[in-house]
Amino acid sequence: MAWAPNDLCNDVDLVAYETAILTQFGQTDWIPKRSKAIEDWLAPILRGQGYPIERLRTRYEADKVYGYTGSVYTDATSVVRDTTVDDLNLATVFATAGSDSLYIGSTQQFRGLSVRMHEAVNATASVLSVASWADNWIPLTLDDGTVKVVGKTFSGGGAVTWRVPFTWVKRSINGSDPLYWVKVTVSVTPASAKAGQIGVIRRSALCAPVTYRTLTLIMREAPTGGAGPWAEKAAWYEREADAALQRALSIIGGEFETDVPPTDQISEEESGQTSAEVAGGWRMERA
């Protein structure tokens, strides 16, 4: 179970600052630049401050998860939190495509889902849909990272991400506490697909620094013959990256996993850690 750096910053974050950052430079994605910003800039700084970057997580335990199959709710919260491989049968949850669903709730708004899968993956053409609650179910525009085979959702594990909607509000489902919920459905039952963990992806305080640093790298390598104030933009984003990182360093304690053995998700207890506790003493580390 490894840290997934692509959860920290994505191309949507870059486009929020530079709307034409993909088309202007003829790119389909900026994964290499985002990776460099993390590996060559962020990681050495965090290690120098005493933070174990390999334990940095954007994946958090969902507060409540229900399968809704045949008009019956089944509590799957403990199943999607534990580290057991392939213990949530997605084919069973979504037995009737379109009407059966998976409800995932959290006390905080979240920007995506992290779906961990092993070898039991879907081989049937199917499309995933996710809706958030805003006094009715509003469909979200998705980047479905579980599509490892074209046209087949859950053909592998991955991140399903979206832009957090401003209209999202809390509600109760099946007698739960009020939470921010998403409703997950599929167009065709994912035959033989099973998942291990399903966690919620939250926006990291380190997202802004990494976004600014990635934009710095892009602007520095912009074609010198092209129109645009590339050098000026690179210098501005570099200053913003440094300033944003300094602000983030004091509040990122709750983004590090300290479970031994690791569960690969941040629990409610871990999310309350201070930066001093993580960098200075690992107060929660336990056997």
Query: Which tens digits make up the pLDDT trace of 113-123?
Result: 999 999 999 99
What CATH number is given to the structural domain containing 187?
2.60.120
Residues of the chain with pLDDT under 70: 1-6, 223-228, 280-287
Last residue of a domain, one of 176, 201, 226: 201
Considering the domain architecture, whether residues 180 and 258 belong to the same structural domain is answered as: no
Last residue of a domain, one of 167, 201, 235: 201
Measured CA distances, 275 to 8, 135, 181, 255 (Å)? 18, 37, 29, 9
Last residue of a domain, one of 154, 180, 201: 201
CA geometry: angle 103, 68, 203, nearest 5 deg: 10
Structure tokens that stand for 66 in this block: 């229900």
Q: How far apart are alpha carbons 71 and 6 in whole angstroms?
A: 36
Residue 160 lies in a domain: yes
Q: How many domains does the chain have?
A: 2
Residue 260 lies in a domain: yes
Residue 286 lies in a domain: no
Q: How far apart are alpha carbons 224 and 219 in whole angstroms?
A: 10
Considering the domain architecture, whether residues 99 and 69 belong to the same structural domain is answered as: yes
CB 77 within 8 A of CB 62: yes
Residue 86 lies in a domain: yes
Residue 249 lies in a domain: yes
Considering the domain architecture, whether residues 13 and 49 belong to the same structural domain is answered as: yes
Considering the domain architecture, whether residues 54 and 84 belong to the same structural domain is answered as: no
Considering the domain architecture, whether residues 116 and 146 belong to the same structural domain is answered as: yes
Characterise 151 by phi-psi region: left (phi > 0), alpha (psi -120 to 50), beta (else).
Answer: left
B/e letters for 107-143, b = 16+ CB within 10 Å, e = fewer, are: bebbbbbbbbbeebbbebebebbbbbbeeebeebebe
Considering the domain architecture, whether residues 42 and 64 belong to the same structural domain is answered as: no
Residue 266 lies in a domain: yes
Q: How far apart are alpha carbons 274 and 243 in whole angstroms?
A: 20
**What is the per-residue pLDDT for 108?**
95
Residue 285 lies in a domain: no
Considering the domain architecture, whether residues 80 and 148 belong to the same structural domain is answered as: yes
Considering the domain architecture, whether residues 29 and 83 belong to the same structural domain is answered as: no
Considering the domain architecture, whether residues 69 and 159 belong to the same structural domain is answered as: yes
Q: How far apart are alpha carbons 104 and 173 in whole angstroms?
A: 10
Considering the domain architecture, whether residues 14 and 122 belong to the same structural domain is answered as: no
Characterise 24 by phi-psi region: left (phi > 0), alpha (psi -120 to 50), beta (else).
Answer: alpha
Considering the domain architecture, whether residues 50 and 121 belong to the same structural domain is answered as: no
Range of the structural domain that residue 192 is part of: 59-201
CB 180 within 8 A of CB 138: no
Residue 136 lies in a domain: yes
**What is the per-residue pLDDT for 187?**
98
**How deeply is 65 buried, as exposed, middle or buried, from its count of CB atoms within 10 A (0-12, 13-18, 19+)?**
buried
Considering the domain architecture, whether residues 155 and 263 belong to the same structural domain is answered as: no
